[in-house]
Chain A
Amino acid sequence: MTYRLEYFALLKEQRGLGSETVATEARTPAQLYSFLKAEHGFRLEQDSLKVAVNEEFADWETELRDGDLIVFIPPVAGG
């Protein structure tokens, strides 16, 4: 499966880019984050993040579809 990813804030800095396309066996956001964390050494644990699929908050166990846009959301700090 191929997914589109956008990165923000701390994850964007750690990845060194704002977006990419990734081909992986991962089928859920949880599996995908686990794969990326191992690949890039992300320091944020899954439980401190939220995830959005196709511009809406999603469950970590949602079944992903080919071409989905996934954004992992680091702890927010508006205001």
Chain B
Amino acid sequence: MSFAISETPIDPQSLKNSMENGSSGACVTFEGWTRNQNEGKTVRLLEYSAYKPLAEKEGARILQEALDRFEIEKAVCVHRVGTLEIGDIAVWVGASSAHRGPAFEACRYIIDETKTRVPIWKKEHYQNGDSGWINAEASADSGRIIS
């Protein structure tokens, strides 16, 4: 079981190889890719940052929860930080199990929980020159005091 924040590009093949395990009959993997569109705007670059010590702790807790809830044998998640171009892998999740059901469920659980709980932030840089921190700008604007 391992959760990591990576400053270097994610290598899906080597991660997949790390899942290999003679007793597993299924390995479900998920790759989150950076997209060139968001809410009608053309995205040029993305910038991810993390509070690494806490991100790795919370990520490890999520993987442990997946191991406790689903009959899986191995769970791995790696999230990229730094500047990413369109089509890069931002996050990779793998779950292996004897049969496919638990691996699918665990993979879904890990990515869903990672997106909502782990202290990782994404800033999109748009073609038109604007940029914004996803999920945070709207909260900030709703709290703005107009004087």
Contacts and interface: CB of A to CB of B under 8 A. Distances in A.
B49 A8 contact: yes
Contact of B139 (A50, A55, A73, A75): A75
Given A77-B122, A78-B79, A52 B136 contact: no
A50 B32 CA distance: 25
Interface string B41-72: 00000001111011001100000000000000
Chain B facing A: main interface SS = mixed
Contacts of B133: 9-10, 13, 74, 77
Given A10-B133, A73-B54, 4 more contacts: A13-B133, A43-B144, A48-B143, A55-B53
Contacts, number: 90
Which 7 pairs of residues, A with B, have the shortest CB-CB distance?
A78-B120, A9-B121, A43-B140, A48-B139, A75-B135, A77-B134, A45-B143
Contact of B123 (A9, A57, A75): A9
B32 A79 contact: yes
Given A44-B140, A48-B139, A77-B134, A55 B121 contact: no
> Interface size class for chain B?
20 to 34
Interface of A: 6, 8-10, 13, 43-45, 48, 50, 52, 55-57, 71, 73-79
A8 B51 contact: yes
